[in-house]
Chain A
Amino acid sequence: MIRIDRIRKLFPTREGEVEALRDVSLHVAAGEFVAIVGASGCGKSTLLRMIAGLIQPSSGQVLLDGSPVTAPRAETAMVFQAATLLPWADVLRNVTFPLRLMKQAGAGTEARARALLATAGLTGFERRLPRELSGGMQQRVAICRALLQEPRVLLMDEPFGALDALTREEMSLELLRIWQGREMAVVFVTHSIPEAVLLADRVVVMSPRPGRVAEVIEIDLPRPRSFEQEALPAFQAAAQRIRALIYGGRLPRAA
């Protein structure tokens, strides 16, 4: 469904052009969960924004259902690291904001938003302002906001990066539960190797300067996933492989 074809991206800086991505090709099937892992500066967020149509590649192209992505499309929705809720709008109006902005809000929009909030455990918070919610709850609202657009591709840029470790684990399982009931591909950028292995069908490991795809690793774990699987050899092997790719030959050793 998403085909990324030999993308290159140059960013102009004061010291000349910097190559953010070099020759990146990738394929994401409909309904697939793909995680992108890599060190800072490997261009993973840039890649995500290209799929979203927010940035254009310098060469190569992103195809969505066969047609090139040149601007943001209705089929994709995005979740950022910060919840980026509107501080003046309550939870319900935040969730419906994109549809209202696109003038696609109809009679059923509010009922669907309430139902979505209910699945995210936010019943009773519809009229609260964002600042009255915890960080985890705010990010749940942001995810509901993306899901209300019924995207066929959900793009997530380190969505749990700003949350504490416990909330993060809870949210990742919740995301899987929500994803399983839908025909929706997820492209999930993260810094966390265990998170990537736990969530994804395939993990794309990227290497920095310039950003390239180092390897794509199939995660051969049964679904539904759970934290007990972290102890399985397949989980360990995948995590080890990713770690080796990211650190290369200079795998750090603690005393």
Chain B
Amino acid sequence: MRPSAARIAAGLRETAPGIAAVILLLLIWEGICRGFAIRPFLLPAPSLVFAQTLAAWPVVLKHAWATLGTVLLGFAASVAISLPLAMLIVSSRALAAALYPLLVITQSIPKVALAPILIVALGANELPRVIVTFLVAFFPLVVGTVAGLMATPPELIELGRACRAGRLQELLRIRLPFAIPFVFGGLKVAAALAVVGAVVAEFVGAEAGLGYLIQTSMAFFKTPLAFGAVIVLAVMGILLFQAVALTERLLFPWSSGAAPPGAGL
């Protein structure tokens, strides 16, 4: 991926409409707030949000770091648990039958309801927050990885069997690499959901974090700061998503559909 003038120009042409749309939205928002003289604690204008967030920047940054820590730990736990879990599900029909209902149960429980129970049980520390983040984020990763492991073309499996590969070899050398694009699809969703999970946990029990900042700000009608925290959360989610996409492009260029250098005969 050599950055050339043409490539940068092409990139700009692709992103320009998106940036323009965001700017337009902010302008309309600003206009409405000023035109109708809406009181800031009901709906602050973007300029006010920006100014107040900047004024409290060290505090916002401290809370952002706390949230990022929870997000990354929860995300790491999702990866560490989902991948082996998916392989177990694929490796045996009985295990799949046993595990799938459990997975669906974890998904049908509202995590907001679970968070206070976990905090009482585990204490007011990082652990319950990481667990809630994990519970919100891991499911699409399991489902995506299972789908990928199952989507391996039957001829590839036959090739493995013709080469007298065992079950484990088949899983590790054929199915798992084949599942990589699916795994990354799941990772992208999990990254975005991890941010949601961390905030849910912080709403219920935390003394730091952007979720906590939003709650305390709103308790004192400091709406602009709450809006600022929401925007920081959005940026955090976008950056995590992009980090996953970049990792895929760098480590598995064959997976992301990005043309490798020198492609095209």
Q: How far is the CA of A233 from the CA of B93 in the complex (A)?
A: 58
Residues of A within 8 A of B177 (CB): 86, 88
Number of interface residues of A (CB under 8 A): 24
Whole-angstrom distance from the CB of A126 to the nearest CB of chain B? Answer: 13
Partner of B164, one of A78, A82, A87, A102: A102
Q: Whose C-beta in chain B lies nearest to the C-beta of A85?
A: B156
Q: How far is the CA of A87 from the CA of B260 in the complex (A)?
A: 13
The dominant DSSP class at the A interface is: loop
B255: interface (CB < 8 Å): yes
Contact A54 B161 (CB under 8 A): yes
The dominant DSSP class at the B interface is: helix
Contact A84 B265 (CB under 8 A): no
Residues of A within 8 A of B153 (CB): 82, 84
Q: How far is the CA of A80 from the CA of B169 in the complex (A)?
A: 21
Q: How far is the CA of A88 from the CA of B183 in the complex (A)?
A: 14
Partner of B156, one of A54, A86, A129, A131: A86
Q: How far is the CA of A88 from the CA of B260 in the complex (A)?
A: 12
Partner of A88, one of B159, B160, B169, B255: B255
Residues of B within 8 A of A54 (CB): 158, 161-162
Most buried by B among A71, A74, A78: A78
Residues of A within 8 A of B254 (CB): 87-88, 129, 131
Interface residues of A in 52-84 (CB under 8 A from B): 52-54, 71-72, 74, 76-78, 80-82, 84
Contact A78 B162 (CB under 8 A): yes
B180: interface (CB < 8 Å): yes
Known: A84-B155, A86-B156, A131-B254; 7 extra A-B contacts, CB below 8 A, are A54-B158, A72-B164, A74-B164, A88-B180, A88-B255, A98-B162, A132-B264
Q: Which 4 A-B pairs have the closest CB atoms?
A: A84-B155, A98-B163, A101-B163, A80-B155
